[in-house]
Structure 1
Amino acid sequence: MEPLKFIQYTFIGTDASKFLQGQVTLHVERLEENETKYTAICDLKGRVHFGLWLTKHNTDHFDIVVVDDQKEAFSSHIKKYAAFAKATLSEVAEVYPSFKNEETTFQSSPTDVIAWQIQAIEHGYAWISQATEHLFQPQELRLHQRNGVHYDKGCYLGQEIIARLWFKAQPKQWLHLVKSNQPIPASGHKIEGNIQIVNMIQTKNNEYIALVIAKPTTLEETPFLEVVELPSPLNEDVARTK
C-alpha cells in the first residue's frame, strides 16, 4: 500500500477567519493560535466533502492541510466560494504527518507516514480522502468528539442537517475500530452487513485494522471482525445526552 501524501496551503487575508467560519464545522473564532484541529467542509446534504487540518496563526493567517488526492477539488471549492473575500489560498508544499500527544502535526521533512496511519486508525482519528468524500456525516465519524464540530457557531455548509441530527435525532450507525486476520477492503468499500470502510491498513503483524461506519449489532454478527475499544472520549455515545 502506498503511503498517503498531504498538501499544505496558506489562507491569508482580512476575511480569512470570517470566510472559514462559514465553511468548516468547527468554531474558527475559538481556535487557539498555533493549534491544529481536524475539521470538515460538508456538502449541502450534511456529509463531509473535504477533511482538513486547520492551524490558526492569527485571524488573518491560517495553514490548511488536505490529503493530496483532494487538493484540486479543495482548491477549486475555496477559490469559488472565496471569490469576493479578502483572502487568498496559496499552495505551499507537500508535508509529512507525525502523531504526537494524540494529535497530528505536520513538518516539511519526511516522516514514517505508514506509522502515522496506523496510530491514527488505532486512536479513531479518521480522515477523508477522495474515496470517502460525500459518504459520512461528521457525527458518524465522531468528529464532534475530537472538537472538530461545534453546534453553536452559526451557519456553514450543511449546518441545518448536521444540527438536526444532533438536536432532534441521532445517527443509526457510527465509527468503530476493528481488526481482522483477513484482508479488509480499501477505503470507501462495503463489506457484508452494510459495514463501510473509512480507513484501513495492514500492520507489521500481518493483521488488518480499520475504522468503519456500522451499527454495533452488525459488527457483533460479523465473525471475522473483532471490535477494539477506542480511546476516550471516542468510545462514548455519539448521540447528544439530554
Structure 2
Amino acid sequence: MTQISNASILPKFAQLTIQGEDAEKFFQGQLTCDVTKLGLSYQAAAIGNLKGRIEFGIWIKKQAEKQYDVVISADCADALQAHLKKYGAFSKFETSAPTPIYPCVLDNVPTFSHKDDHNTTEDTQAWMQCSIATGNYWIVAATQGEFQPQELRLHQRGGMDYDKGCYLGQEVIARIYFKSAPKAFLHYVKGTGEVPAAGNKIDKIQVVNAMKNDEGFIALVVARPEQLAESDLSILDLPAALQVDVARPK
C-alpha cells in the first residue's frame, strides 16, 4: 500500500559551511558539478554513491575564497556531516555543525535565507510550489540512493559536469550519459486524492516530491512517458530547459 505524507509536515533544511585549504579540491572529487565554476548563487548539485545514484542532493555556493555553503534537507544533514568527515579525513578543511536555513522565493526563484522572517509556513509552501513547478527537487532521507542524476534532469540545470574528472559514482553516471539514456525521468504532474509521500510509488511512477493543492496534489515524479500516459495523472509543463530530451545531444 502506498503511504501518504502528512500535508502539515513541511520540509526543513540545514546549512553546513566547509572552509579550508583543501575545500575546493575535496569537493571537486565529490560533487557532480564543477566546483571551480561556482559563484555566489546556490547551484543544485549532488554527491553520488558508487552505484551512480544521488546519496546527497544539495545546493552549494562559494561564499568566499576556500569557503563553501552547502544546503541540504535537515534529515540528511548529520549523514552528510559524517560523510564529509569520513572522506575528508586527510584533507585540510573544517565543517561547521548544521544550522537551520529557511526556504523562500525571491524574484520568482526558490532559494534560502537565514532571516527569521522567512521562517514561516507561507514561505515554505511558496518555495515548495515554486520548486515543484521548476524541477527544483529536494532529496530527503527516504529518497537517498533512489535516483540517478540524469533521471532528475540535474545535467539540464547546470548541476553536472562530464569533463571535470573523477568523483563518486562518476563511472556509472558517465556510462549512462555517453552510452545510453534513462528510460524514466523527471516530470511535473498533478493528481487527485491524498498527497503521496516522497519515495513512494503511484503504480510504477516514483514520487520525488509532492504537496497538496486545492484539487489534490502537485508532484515531481520519475516515470517513463508511457507509464504516465496510462495513469490518472496530468502532465504539466516544466521550464523549457527541462522539456528537452534527457539523452546526450548527438
Determine if contact 2:176/2:182 at 8 Å carries over to the other structure. yes
Q: Which residue of 1 aligns with 2:136?
A: 125
Residue 29 of structure 2 is aligned to residue 22 of structure 1: yes
Q: With structure 2 as the length reference, what TM-score do the two structures score? A: 0.92
**Equivalent of 2:206 in 190, 196, 217:** 196
Distance 1:89 1:206 in 2: 43
Asked if 2 retains the 8 angstrom alpha-carbon contact of 1:7 and 1:91, the reply is: no
Map 1:216-227 onto structure 2 (within 5 A).
216-222=225-231, 224-227=232-235
**Which secondary structure state, in structure 1, belongs to the residue aligned with residue 43 of structure 2?**
strand
For residue 169 of structure 1, what is the aligned residue in structure 2?
180
2:111 counterpart residue number: 105
Q: What is the percent sequence identity of the aligned residues?
A: 46
Structure 1 position 207, deviation (Å): 2.6
Q: Deviations over 1:105-126 (max 9, x none)?
A: 2211214112111110011111
Q: Is the 8 A contact 1:127 1:199 kept in 2?
A: yes
Once the 2 structures are TM-superposed, how far is the Cα of residue 59 of structure 1 from its aligned partner? Answer: 4.0
Counterpart amino acid of residue 136 in structure 1: F
Task: Say which of 61, 69, 76 aligns to 1:55.
Answer: 61
Q: 1:102 to 1:170 in 2, by over 3 A?
A: farther
Structure richer in helix, relative to its length = 2
Choose which of 198, 212, 221 in structure 1 pairs with 2:221. Answer: 212
Give aligned pairs, total: 238
Question: Cα deviations across residues 57-101 of structure 1 (Å, max 9, x unaligned)?
Answer: 234100011101001111100011111111011025201012334
TM superposition score normalised by structure 1? 0.95
What CA distance in whole angstroms lies between the structure 1 residues aligned with 2:77 and 2:38?
Answer: 23
Uncovered stretches (5+) of structure 1, i.e. residues with no partner: none
Please report how far the alpha carbon of residue 184 of structure 1 lies from its aligned counterpart in structure 2 after TM superposition. 3.9
Aligned Cα RMSD in Å?
1.2
Counterpart-to-counterpart distance in 1, 2:199 and 2:215: 21
1:233 equivalent to 2:244? Answer no
Instruction: Give the CA deviation at 1:102.
Output: 5.3
